[in-house]
Chains A and B, each alone.
Chain A
Amino acid sequence: MSKIFDIKINVKKYKASSSDTILQIARKNDLKIPTLCYHPDLPVGASCRLCLVEIINEKKSQIVTACSTKVFEGMNIKLDTPRVKSARKINLEMLLSDHIKKCGECNWHDNCGLKELAREFGIKESRFPERRRHFKTDAKTPSIFWDSSKCIECGNCVSACNEIAGLANIESKYRGHSIIFGPAGGRSFADTDCVFCGQCVLRCPAGSLQEKSEIEDVEKILLNKKKQILVAQFAPSTRYSIGELFNLPPGVNLELKLVTALKKLGFDYVFDVNFGADITTVEEAAELIERLQTRKDETMFTACCPAWVRYVETFHHDLIPNLTTTKSPTHCLAPAVKSYFAKKIGIRPGRIKIVEIMPCIAKKYEAKLPEMCQTFNPEVNFALTVREAARILKNKNIDLPKLADSQFDSPLGSSSGAGAIYGSSGGVMESALRTVVAKLSDARLPKLEFSEVRGMSGVKESSVDIDGEKLEVAVVSGLKNAAKLLADMKSGIKRYNYVEVMACPGGCLGGGGQPIPTTPEIRFKRSAAFYTDDQKKKVRRAHDNPDIIKLYQGLDTKPLGPLSKKLFHRKFTLRRPKLKKDNNAN
């Protein structure tokens, strides 16, 4: 039923169909309607009541929320009538006084939808006294900071946890004006089965849910360097999204300017986590090849996503042996820095402090895991989200897009195209396949591009032909989709040799630490940039990266060798679910 018809908005005619909402048509045509709780990734909640518009008909005009109202032929909509403007303003004023203003000390001020709307509406003070006298905070986990005094009860967090993660770690408590949203149980995320994917944080319009800040810690070590050597390293995704916080469109590669910026801040060396991704690829491909020979009927899963790993450790103990033991790119790079590089420049590893900049909040949790402190304690000293890194640059008035380019430092700064695509769902898979196929196939020109595993779809499958043998692979992003895939695999409907799982929709480029907003459109634009750069690289396969070859020579080891196992592989921990009822919310 997609007949196209005309509707009127503010007197002008626009094309629409009966499945469109007023807000969708407005956004398509760049017409402004204020929103707060609306998010294209979530089912429409329509709880904030700010996107009000007026529908004019002969009898009586009707005020509706644009996000939830579908259009009909000939609908006559006015966007900014006095009635609508008055209602929006009162609703916003009431929301502001439902929220204790701590803007001065709050880290959400670059991301806060509430603050932005107040600025747009010109509201400085509310006529109502702040009504939340009792509030709760939770800083017990490494990744999340919850402050219920900022909550405006939009319900996005519950929706994100249920619909994207497929879990039930956030719920509402009480009702009416006492209602609050927070971790299940009402006290702390540490009491829940949260895996720190951060999709809730990414959709909070008022800063009640944020990443746990490490901005002060990092600013402190930059100020007070003493004899420390400061190393910065950033993820494949970081370079394509950090520009969004400096008014650039998504997908602009700012890696070389970010290197300059980090040096300006005071970092001594800047390495590329894409190089770490090449290490991961080389190790993981070797492990896959070994398992194809010794454990042919078992599926191997990726393990570079800390939220996914925590999910398996909690809910699918039987799959722990199926995870690859290879560590994530940043945790392959960090021990390489503190061993190989430290030796090269002749300093002891203890003096090196590594700061990583990630699109992820689970990385904060990963960096503190005992498994990630085995080689050096810790391997990564501080984990910042892309949002935090931008804030640190802005605190020092560094205008990122205007800087000159600088190269990454050698010898851990170069990467192949395979390393560059890690941040997009399917990137890890394609990266590993390039190496696996090259090693196993006798073909003169082994297959390089695997387009079937690319794209923003939640689940992608491919049957890879290696000299007649078939390798069945799948790529899934979004933890709820992963749960369904696991169910299909356990019931026998689906069988794969190798599966890539990312907890965040679209892969790391949709991660909990990315700039806000992160929408399907923005993720798509970020994604395109990875593959464009991959095509421009001279070296497309991880094992062909000359610096990778030098690394292994310098360490006098090879993939899966004893030293590689020590530096680049890890163990897992059995975790018990904390919430009593079945946490898989579907």
Chain B
Amino acid sequence: MKDIIKNLNKVFDNRVRLGIMAILVVNEWVEFKQLKMMLGVTDGNLASHISSLEKKELLEVRKMFVNRKPQTSYCVTDLGKAAFQEHLDALESIISMKKKLPE
């Protein structure tokens, strides 16, 4: 049991950070605006969570100009993909384990 809980990644404790990762693993590059819309959070909130994920090298940032407007997109790194998958697996095994135990 302890081993499984150890596999839960502290970084993904937060709902928004977990949401960002969930969206990024199934998409190639996602714009800031799209993330904001899908998660329903404020600019500041989203930016701070993104930067903490970036510091851990779980996602990659790309800045470019589209029609002379700056556009920032994000993409998950291999490390991020693996960490997210591990976290999901841990969540799933906790759920299935608790189900087996009698109340």
A and B physically associate: no
A binding-site residues for B, Cβ under 8 Å: none
